[in-house]
Structure 1
Amino acid sequence: MQPDSGPGVGPSPREAAAFLLERIHQGNGYAHSRKRRFGRSASLTKVATLVLSAASTVILGLQNLNAWAGLALACMALVTLLGAVEPFFNWRSRWVLMEEAQYRFRRLADELEYLLATTAADDLTFDQLGEFFGRYQAIWDDLSRTWLEHRREPSASSNA
C-alpha cells in the first residue's frame, strides 16, 4: 500500500481493508494448495500400503513359486517402509490442518467482505480492521502452533 500523497498520509481504511482481504485470500490459497498436496500424499500412501499388503498376501498363498514368494517378500518390505514413512510425514493430519485453516480464512474473508459491503466508506475505521487483522494473525498463529505440536510428537500416528 502506498500513501495517497505527501508525508504522513497513509492509506484509507478501504485501501487497508483491500490489502488485508488480499492477504487473507493469499493465506487461503496457501492452505488450499498444501491441503491438496497433503491429501494426495495421504491417499497415495494408504492405497500403496493396501495394494502391497493385498498383493503380498495373495502371492504368499502361491508358495510353491519361488519368484512369487520373493515378490511377496519385497511387497511386505515396502509395506513396512510405508508404514514407517507415513507417521513420520503425517500427511493426513497435515491435510486436515490445512482444511481447517482454509475454512477459517474463507470465513474471515466472508465477514470482511460483508463489512465492506454494508459499511459506507467514511464509516469504516481502522479499529474495525484491527479486529480482522488480529483474527487473521490468530489463524496463522494457531496453524503454526499446531504444526509444531505435530512435529514435536515422537510418533505422529496418534494424530491420524
Structure 2
Amino acid sequence: MQQREKLKYLEGEIAKGINKMKLKGDQNKSRTFIVRISSALLGAFVTIALGLQTTSLTTELKNFALICGALISVVNTLDSIAGYRALWVKQKLTLSQLYTLRNEIEFYKAGLEENDTVDEAKVQEFFAKYQSIWETASNEWLRLRKEQEQEEGEGNR
C-alpha cells in the first residue's frame, strides 16, 4: 500500500471515529441532561406536594411525595451506575483529539504538491497518534468502570 493510500485510509478511520464519538457524546449528553432534570423535577414535586395545605388531599399528596422521593433514589442510582456525564466528558476529549489529528493531516497534505511523495515517517507518526488516542480512550473507559465498581462495592457494605 502506497503512503498516500495509507494516509487516505487513516483519514477515513479518523472520520469514522469522529462520527462515532459525536453520536455517543450526544447520546450521553442527552442522558446526563435527562437524569439531572428528572432528579430536580422530582425533588421539586416532593417539596410542592409536602408544602400544599389542603385537607382533602393530604394522604394522596404524602403518598405522591413518597413515590417521587423513591424515584429520586432510582434516578440518582442510575446516574452513578451509568456515569453518563463522565462518559460524555471522556468522549468529548477523544473527539477533540481526533479533530486535532485530522487537522494535522490536512495541514500536512496542504503543503504537498500533487506529485510530491508522502513521507512514510510522517504517515507512521499520524497512525501512532491515532492508535494512542484510542488506547487512551480505552484506558479511561476502563478506569471509569473500575471506579464505578468500587463505588458499588462500597455501597453494598
Quote the Cα distance in structure 2 between the aligned partners of 1:155 and 1:125. 48
Q: Is the 8 A contact 1:59 1:68 kept in 2?
A: yes
1:62 offset after TM fit, Å?
Answer: 2.6
1:133 aligns with 2:123: no
1:100 offset after TM fit, Å?
Answer: 0.5
Q: Which residue number in structure 1 is paired with residue 20 of structure 2? A: 30
Q: Which residue number in structure 2 is paired with residue 51 of structure 1? A: 41
Q: Is the 8 A contact 1:31 1:99 kept in 2?
A: yes
1:14 offset after TM fit, Å?
Answer: 1.2
Quote the Cα distance in structure 2 between the aligned partners of 1:128 and 1:107. 15
1:107 aligns with 2:100: yes
Q: Which residue number in structure 2 is paired with residue 149 of structure 1? A: 143
Amino acid at match of 2:23: S
Quote the Cα distance in structure 1 between the aligned partners of 2:19 and 2:129. 17
TM-score under structure 1 length normalisation: 0.87
1:142 offset after TM fit, Å?
Answer: 0.3
Where does the alignment leave 5 or more consecutive residues of structure 2 unmatched? 153-157
Structure 1 residue runs of 4+, over 4 Å off? none
Map Cα deviations across residues 69-110 of structure 1 (whole Å, 9 max, x no partner): 111110000001111111110000000001001100001001
Amino acid at match of 2:52: L
Q: Is the 8 A contact 1:62 1:69 kept in 2?
A: no
Match of 2:91 among 94, 98, 103: 98
Quote the Cα distance in structure 2 between the aligned partners of 1:41 and 1:112. 33
Quote the Cα distance in structure 2 between the aligned partners of 1:49 and 1:27. 33
The size of the alignment, in residue pairs, is: 146
1:68 offset after TM fit, Å?
Answer: 1.2
Quote the Cα distance in structure 2 between the aligned partners of 1:34 and 1:126. 33
Secondary structure of the residue aligned to 2:116 is helix
1:123 offset after TM fit, Å?
Answer: 2.9
Aligned-pair identity in percent equals 25
Q: Which residue number in structure 1 is paired with residue 79 of structure 2? A: 86
1:41 aligns with 2:41: no
Where does the alignment leave 5 or more consecutive residues of structure 1 unmatched? 1-10
Q: Which residue number in structure 1 is paired with residue 118 of structure 2? A: 124
Amino acid at match of 2:112: T
1:12 aligns with 2:5: no
TM-score under structure 2 length normalisation: 0.88
Secondary structure of the residue aligned to 1:55 is helix
Quote the Cα distance in structure 1 between the aligned partners of 2:145 and 2:134. 16
Taking the TM superposition and a 5 Å limit, the aligned residue runs for 1:61-72 are: 61-62=51-52, 64=55, 65-72=58-65
